[in-house]
Structure 1
Amino acid sequence: MRHILLATSVVLFPQLASAGQCQTPPPMEPSAPPVKIVATSEGTTIPRLLKAEDINQSPALRRIASNGATIWEIGDSMSNHGLRGVFARNGQTFRTFYLTPDLQAEVGGVMWDAEGHNITRDTVSMIPGVIPTVKWDAGHTNPPKVVSGQPPAEGTHADAAKVMASASFGLYGHAGAPRLYMIVDPLCPWSIRALQSLQSYVDNGKLELAIVPIAINDYENNHASTPAAQAMLSIGQRQMIGVWRQIIALNHAPDDVSLTETSGASLQLNLQKAHTVGLRGTPTIVWLDKSGVSHTQSGLPDNVDALIEGVAR
């Protein structure tokens, strides 16, 4: 029997969009009556867009839909190992949930099996615009192009550091120190903890932290992450850490920071680039080692000293 892990970190699946373009609208609700989930010949299930009468049957679904989210049922009880999977989309925000058998409670997250296979990705891949990848041509300055397929797995990626170098980020630490890219949701507790863990390395001149804001925790904080991330993207690189500290103290975006017209586009581009390097949750770190190889990892490792020692200047 396979062992299943519901990841506590959330994976965000952005819509397909070209650089500088607006988000594509959510798919239209089909005019034909919904059908029951049916397995395809390959064993993949067809997602079903849930109607109001379906949602009203479950307190958990009503909570998920309460902020205007559109919901699809994904997978079936066999592929989801006894749970009912749903995919919720509200504007730029995406989230997957797994409902308990009584439909009273939900667990937000992504389902992985013991071999590290992403069960959730398989079940949502048939929803248009959910799974993006970015084609990156080394040596070209054009923004990455979104194409269909699977994003790269976590681990070693030849161009991960180059992709992050083209993102919108803030700089914290001594210029010329080894640079570590950290993809964060400004209101994610684990992102905040990672910042605290790296503080001494920044203070001692051993690390320059490149902070890449994204927003994946809107469902957890009443949609406060997106304006917070946009506030961070609306000021200069060296001022970003100060704004993030204000956000941490206030638990929302500062009222005295005016969002720029480009902050929304910058946020979306950061999301695309984060998925290019295999985003699974926040924080995700990316670095170039001393041999010139890029790496990406979910969260901080247990031995931060060894990590910093191996980061290239």
Structure 2
Amino acid sequence: MRHALATLAVALLPGIAYAAPACPTPEAIERAPVQPPPPAPHEPVVAAPTPDQIPYRRFTAAEVARSSALQRLGSQGAQLYSLGQTHGLAGVFAMAGTQFRVFYLAPDGQAEIQGVMWDDTGHNVTRDQVAPIAGTIPTIHWTPRSQPGPQGPTPAGSTATQPAVDPVARLAAANYGLEGPDGARRVYMVVDPLCPYSTRAMSRLQPFVTSGRLQLAIVPIAINDYENHGASTPAAIDMLSADPGQMGTVWREISAQGHARPGHVPAPTAAAQLHINMDAERAIGVTGTPTFVWRDKSGQSHMAAGLPEDIDGWFRAGAGP
């Protein structure tokens, strides 16, 4: 139950997210322990809030009686608190023991949606709603290793200034498409074309690309085949068959359709290019997509899995100009 609590809290984590969401590689899944170990000092520390720490009012018995959705949510003993109306939906903070969940009620009160709400700018609305509640946002204390192991798993969002393999040089020798103007700060973006976190990151970075602050070097790989019945590999080959300057456009088409574009014949070299990219991602220790790799102003290489919530802060930390 504590693990489930931490999972939602990490999804709401503000700032430069060291636990930013990413689609894990199969190797990372195999390395993951079956039972999570007790939190180490650098891992998120989460404590369930007590009722007196929740600044929102409880739903009244009359309100619950009028809504079949609230009745379902409270049927197992959960305490239900109102988060107010947001974009026409009533927010519900439901807590049972050490677990909590956020739901949004349909206008008629007869159906509920569980999850995180994002607005049209990519802002995490749910995180703002639960931030005043103690225990919903984990605290992370993390010190990067100055000499990381050669191929060990790396915490999501962590950076390594002295990697065993220079990730920037390794990806520069891989196959990628460019999105953004020459002369802007280049950031390599390793993606699975059908990973929802990859496509969301691309959407959120688009304003920075359009404004000329950022040039993305998009490196397609295929790690989600185990989830989408083998659709990632042909989608990545489809991207690598495109002209490098059009790869971003092709990716958006693939993302909209959920699979490789029908009727497009792959380039003869695309499968080999994907193999090269997969070798590169293993060499630099990618644990999930999207993974970002860049060189800061001092010339040091950095790698981060998942897109930080605070993109401007990320730029100030060295990813951007």
Provide the TM-score with structure 1 as the length reference. 0.54
CA contact (8 A) 2:23 2:195 kept: no
152, 160, 167: which one aligns with 1:156:
160
The equivalent of 2:172 in structure 1 is 165
Structure 1 residue 152, shift from structure 2 partner = 7.0
* Inter-CA distance 211–112: structure 2 relative to 1 (3 Å threshold): farther
Q: Counterparts in 2 of 1:210-289, with a 5 A limit?
A: 210-289=217-296
* Inter-CA distance 152–223: structure 2 relative to 1 (3 Å threshold): closer
CA contact (8 A) 1:229 1:267 kept: yes
Structure 1 residue 250, shift from structure 2 partner = 1.0
114, 122, 130: which one aligns with 2:39:
114
CA contact (8 A) 2:314 2:320 kept: no
Gaps of 5+ in 1: 15-72, 82-110, 118-148
Alpha-carbon separation, structure 2, partners of 1:261 and 1:281: 27
Q: Percent identity?
A: 43
* Inter-CA distance 152–272: structure 2 relative to 1 (3 Å threshold): farther
* Inter-CA distance 282–8: structure 2 relative to 1 (3 Å threshold): closer
Task: Find the structure with the greater CA-based Rg.
Answer: 2
Alpha-carbon separation, structure 1, partners of 2:260 and 2:34: 37
Q: Secondary structure at the match of 2:304?
A: strand
The equivalent of 1:126 in structure 2 is none
1:80 and 2:94 are equivalent in the alignment: no
Look up the equivalent residue of 1:220 and give its one-letter code.
E
The equivalent of 2:183 in structure 1 is 176
Q: Secondary structure at the match of 1:13?
A: helix
The equivalent of 1:311 in structure 2 is 319
Alpha-carbon separation, structure 2, partners of 1:160 and 1:171: 17
Structure 1 residue 212, shift from structure 2 partner = 0.5
199, 212, 216: which one aligns with 2:206:
199
CA contact (8 A) 1:178 1:207 kept: yes
Look up the equivalent residue of 1:9 and give its one-letter code.
C
Q: Secondary structure at the match of 1:220?
A: helix
After TM superposition, the structure 1 stretch with the greater mean CA deviation from structure 2, 200-209 or 218-227, is 218-227
Q: Secondary structure at the match of 2:246?
A: helix
Structure 1 residue 165, shift from structure 2 partner = 0.7
* Inter-CA distance 273–74: structure 2 relative to 1 (3 Å threshold): closer
CA contact (8 A) 2:193 2:220 kept: yes
Structure with the higher fraction of residues in helix conformation: 2
CA contact (8 A) 1:207 1:308 kept: no
* Inter-CA distance 223–265: structure 2 relative to 1 (3 Å threshold): same
Q: Which runs of 4+ in 1 moved over 6 A?
A: 2-8
Alpha-carbon separation, structure 2, partners of 1:240 and 1:8: 21
RMSD (Å) for aligned C-alpha atoms: 3.1
Q: Secondary structure at the match of 2:227?
A: coil
Structure 1 residue 307, shift from structure 2 partner = 2.2
Look up the equivalent residue of 1:311 and give its one-letter code.
A
* Inter-CA distance 162–113: structure 2 relative to 1 (3 Å threshold): farther
Structure 1 residue 216, shift from structure 2 partner = 0.9
Count residues with an aligned counterpart.
Answer: 192
CA contact (8 A) 2:22 2:197 kept: no
Provide the TM-score with structure 2 as the length reference. 0.53
Structure 1 residue 114, shift from structure 2 partner = 3.3
